[in-house]
Amino acid sequence: MSSALLPKPQMRRLLARRMKLHLFGAFFVSVGCAALYKFGVAEPRKRAYAEFYKNYDAMKDFEVMRAAGVFESAPPK
């Protein structure tokens, strides 16, 4: 009697159904992680580099390092 009350387990195409669910889930998780990395890491890093190089003077930096004696080919003045 109890066997008539239990539904039969699905034996065919079970892997295919589960695989669809897992593929969609993995796709959305990976797109979410890529978006979080882009807007959380890459874009702030680009802005920081752009801000640094907006006011960066290479010759001034070279003269400071030259005065400190960093370079062998350019002795300090």
User: Under a CB-based contact definition with an 8 Å cutoff, are residues 21 and 15 in contact?
Assistant: no
As given in the structure block, the two tokens for residue 7 are 């539904």
Q: What is the pLDDT of residue 9?
A: 83
**pLDDT of amino acid 62:** 95
Please give the pLDDT value at position 2.
61
Instruction: Name the residue with tokens 């969609």.
Output: 24
Question: What DSSP state is assigned to residue 40?
Answer: I
The answer to whether 74 touches 61, Cβ cutoff 8 Å, is: no
Q: Digits of tens for pLDDT over the chain (77 positions)?
A: 566 788 888 888 989 999 999 999 999 999 999 999 999 999 999 999 999 999 999 999 999 999 999 999 988 87
The Cα angle at residue 3 between residues 12 and 8, in degrees rounded to 5: 15
Q: Which CATH number among 3.40.1710.10, 3.40.50.300, 2.60.120.260, 4.10.93.10 corresponds to the domain 16-68?
A: 4.10.93.10
